[in-house]
Homo-oligomer: A and B are copies of this chain.
């Protein structure tokens, strides 16, 4: 599957929050759920998304937007591994996506999706400051990163609906206490759901898939 790459232009919207609300409303009218996926570089966003999309694509129409500063590697991987339409967004050095940039990607991707994943730039700081217009947000925190990230990067954990703890297959090799991590997430955001998974072994991927299926019926 061919992957288009778009170099995003700087947003023209003065008021990003208003642009984000308009985008969200437009998506709702189309019956499309947009998920903003945020994490550190190397938390395994792409691997997790491939594993999740393969499951969800059996019953839903899935689209993907991969934001990156420069390379195309993620979009090519996701398109090849899932067969789903995938657009690569180049931010031209910018450290985050806003609603205007997300809108540019959505126009390229086109209509007819139940669920669109927006893989934001790998960064736990800046993406949290900009509403992309997504229906909801998820953070992926990988076991090797440690349990203290919700304390050190508060905003991204405050603003998300779902925290996926990835690479749980690495738990035996790292000093990572799942319950402590849940407590740290809870300190920032009592409403966030926490789901530990391993995309490598498939552990708990059923729970993650079910969370999305349920969410799609609610919206």
Contact = CB atoms under 8 A, between A and B. Distances in A.
A40 interface: yes
Contacts of A145: 40-42, 144
Task: Kindly name the residue among A68, A142, A152, A170 whose own CB sees the greatest number of chain B CB atoms within 10 A.
Answer: A152
Given A124-B122, A125-B123, A70 B152 contact: yes
Q: State the oligomeric state as a number of copies.
A: 2
A125 to B, nearest CB: 4
A97 to B, nearest CB: 12
Interface in A151-180: 151-155, 167, 169-170, 173-174
B73 A152 contact: yes
Interface of A: 40-42, 68-71, 73-74, 93, 95, 121-126, 129, 142-146, 148-149, 151-155, 167, 169-170, 173-174
